[in-house]
Amino acid sequence: MRSFDPQQESVQNIYKLMIGAIVPRPIAFVSSLDVRGVRNLAPFSFFNGVSADPPVVLFCASVRREDPQRSLGPHKDTLLNVIDTREFVINVVTESIAEKMNLTSAQVPPDVDEFELSGLTPVASELVKPPRVAESPVQMECRLRQIVEISEKLHGSTIVLGDVLRFHVREDLVENFRIDADKLAAIGRMGGPTYVRTRDRFDLERPA
């Protein structure tokens, strides 16, 4: 067993340890709007549900390296949009849209519409202004609950907590509020460029 002290290792090495060990990670495919109405779509693999009453989800936006030539600041457009508008949509990523989702992970200037970039279809939400991804079979309309800033350092992050105002689930996927995992065909994130399907599963009954 090898041990690693984060204080003695580079940030890049610690990051590689985390994304290699914390797996598989669900993917929040977040759609948002800036104050001008420009659509944004980006994936985040530090994502989870944190409460059912009220329903609350979170995703983490990491601090990136600035690139003034491409008008890229340290904070991702999604985070800035959510701070400004207090609304976003989380779309579940499936095998069928994996490649298009990956296109939106490119770092592009804020005026680029990732719906157009990826070829995915925007569809109007019911309670928030950002559109949903029509091709995603599960979508959650969210309103910002809280922002928690962890670190402003490069590779630091900000936690975004959102209240789910509306769930949208493709009709053939759900029965008695249970989602059919086979039909959903969600994917998860591993380390590096690797993803995982969710087809190989097993059950364990919780002890009484």
Domain assignment present for residue 26? The answer is: yes
DSSP letters spanning 31-64: EEE-TT--EEEEEESSEEEEEETTEEEEEEEE--
Domain assignment present for residue 200? The answer is: no
Picking from 181, 199, 194, 201, the residue whose alpha carbon sits closest to that of residue 98 is 194
Average pLDDT, the chain: 95
Domain assignment present for residue 206? The answer is: no
Q: What is the identity of the amino acid at 128?
A: V
Q: How many CA atoms lie within 13 A of 133 on its CB side?
A: 34
Handedness of CA 127, 137, 33, 192 (dihedral sign): positive
Q: What is the pTM of this model?
A: 0.94
φ/ψ of residue 134, rounded to 5: -60, -35
Query: What CATH number did the domain enclosing 93 receive?
Result: 2.30.110.10
Confidence of residue 67 (pLDDT cuts 50, 70, 90): low
Query: What is the pLDDT, as a whole number, of residue 69?
Result: 61
Give yes or no for residue 88 having a pLDDT over 90.
Answer: yes
Query: What is the pLDDT, as a whole number, of residue 75?
Result: 85
Query: What is the pLDDT, as a whole number, of residue 64?
Result: 76
Domain assignment present for residue 32? The answer is: yes
Distance (Å, whole) CA 101 – CA 122: 13
Domain assignment present for residue 131? The answer is: yes
Give yes or no for residue 1 having a pLDDT over 80.
Answer: yes
Query: What is the pLDDT, as a whole number, of residue 203?
Result: 95
For 15-58, the pLDDT digits (tens) are 999 999 999 999 999 999 999 999 999 999 999 999 999 999 99
Give yes or no for residue 154 having a pLDDT over 90.
Answer: no
For 167-190, the pLDDT digits (tens) are 999 999 999 999 999 999 999 999
The helix/strand/coil state of 19 is: helix
Residues 6+ apart with CB under 8 A from 82: 32, 88, 144, 147, 160, 162
Domain assignment present for residue 205? The answer is: no
Domain assignment present for residue 134? The answer is: yes
Confidence of residue 65 (pLDDT cuts 50, 70, 90): confident
Domain assignment present for residue 21? The answer is: yes
How many domains are contained in the chain? 1
What beta strand segments (E) does 53-156 contain?
55-62, 87-92, 122-123, 132-133, 138-149
Range of 74's domain? 6-194
